[in-house]
Amino acid sequence: MVSLTIIGFVRHGVTAWNKEGRVQGNSDVPLDEEGIEMAKRVADRLSNERWDVIYTSHLIRAKKTAEIIAEKMPDVELVEDARLREFSGGLIEGTTEEERLEKWGKDWNEQDMGFEPHESIISRGLESLMDIKNKHAGKRVLVVSHGGLIKRLLDELITDTKYETHLDNTSLTIVKLQDDKNLCELFNCTAHLKNKVES
d(C-alpha 52, C-alpha 27), whole Å: 30
In the chain, the amino acid numbered 173 is T
> Which residues, at least 6 apart from 152, have a Cβ–Cβ distance to it below 8 Å?
87, 118, 121, 122, 125
Cβ proximity of 64 and 33 under 8 Å: no
Is 166 one of the annotated active-site residues of the chain?
A: no
**C-alpha dist (Å) from residue 106 to 39, 83, 99, 172:** 36, 32, 11, 34
Asked about 86 being catalytic, the answer comes back as: yes
> What does the alpha-carbon distance between residue 172 and residue 46 come to, in Å, rounded to a whole number?
9
Which residue among the candidates 34, 77, 86, 156 is catalytic per the annotation? Answer: 86
Q: What is the dihedral of CA 160, 162, 168, 172, to 10 degrees?
A: 0
Cα-to-chain-centroid distance, residue 114: 22
Positions marked catalytic: 12, 86
